[in-house]
Amino acid sequence: MKATQLLHNLGQSLWLDNITRDLLNSGTLKRYIDELSVTGLTSNPTIFDHAIKNSSTYDAAIREKLNEGKSGEELFFELALEDLTRAADLFRPIYDRTNGVDGWVSLEVSPLLAHDTASTLAAAKSLHARAGRPNLLMKIPGTKEGLPAIEEAIFAGVPVNVTLLFSREHYVAAAEAFLRGIERRIDAGLQPDVGSVASVFVSRWDAAVVGKVPAALNNKLGIAIAKRTYKAYRDLLGSSRWQRIYNAGARPQRLLWASTGTKDPKASDVLYIKALAAPFTVNTMPEGTLKALADHGDLSEIMSADGGDCEAVFDQFATAGIDVYELAATLQDEGAKSFVNSWNELMGVIASKSASLQKAN
């Protein structure tokens, strides 16, 4: 049995962190669903940037939209919605079979709106309505400025993938924003089952400290962060406040492991996949990591709900001079800036591709 199937049987959802029109047109995504237990998908501006820049697959659609007078951000979201609605339809049987637990795809709102709660909420509502698919999650950063938009989106009934979380504290803040939105729906007499995942980035921790700590600590910080966060997740799921919303018909917000591709060439290509095997979580992985996992026939032990050895690992990093709380803030800040940079690069690719296609006409 493939390790992908073993993970799925364990109770963890495997999502693909990629979307291209070629993946859809070639039937590759359908094959991943059928053969590699893939049950969802995430996207981001960098993924679309590479897909559009490195392929002619989008040219006809871009040319058509240019002829309709569309450009820039408007043109991009039309392309993205075309891809993601097709992907959502492929995952719809899983969404229906699991009663909305699984089978989701994700689309990110413009990161240029990150400091504007009202505009972020309006964009999330508009894009979700345009897609017309119940299994589309809108990605909103779990930054201080993003948290009110997350609460309001959930209250409005818009499913949310809370992104850009780096620590237990970031996760708890996002979970509480989700919870407030659900509690407000319950108090207002609204249906409380609104889908959400909270995405914690893992490998970036290890990339941030490489060369700054003893070699024995390489590739250990991200996993320790994940273990600490998983304990908080399990504690929240079992708390009386969360059980009250379950009793009212709400569904838990699931914890999602993001940034799980191995950055260190000396480490296993499935380092984070094996270490983050945990029931009732999602692991969204790059295509190369998914294929590598399928080639490995075994898994290591399941993540402990009590955090395991994470606090002892944090003590070692503290001794090495790493302040994980300060680093978490830095990583989130850098991540937010990176999102903006990726978005600007994507808009540049759309503009240059549009110009070259218009010139060729």
Residues labelled catalytic: 139
Answer yes or no: are the C-beta atoms of 160 and 153 closer than 8 Å: yes
* Percent helix, percent strand, percent coil in the chain, to nearest 5: 60, 10, 30
d(CA 108, CA 43): 7
The CA-to-CA distance between both ends of the chain, in Å, stands at: 52
Answer yes or no: are the C-beta atoms of 284 and 261 closer than 8 Å: no
Count of all residues that appear for the chain in the document: 361
Residue 140: phi and psi, rounded to 5, are: -130, 130
Alpha-carbon separation of residue 81 from 48, 108, 133, 277 (angstroms)? 11, 11, 10, 31
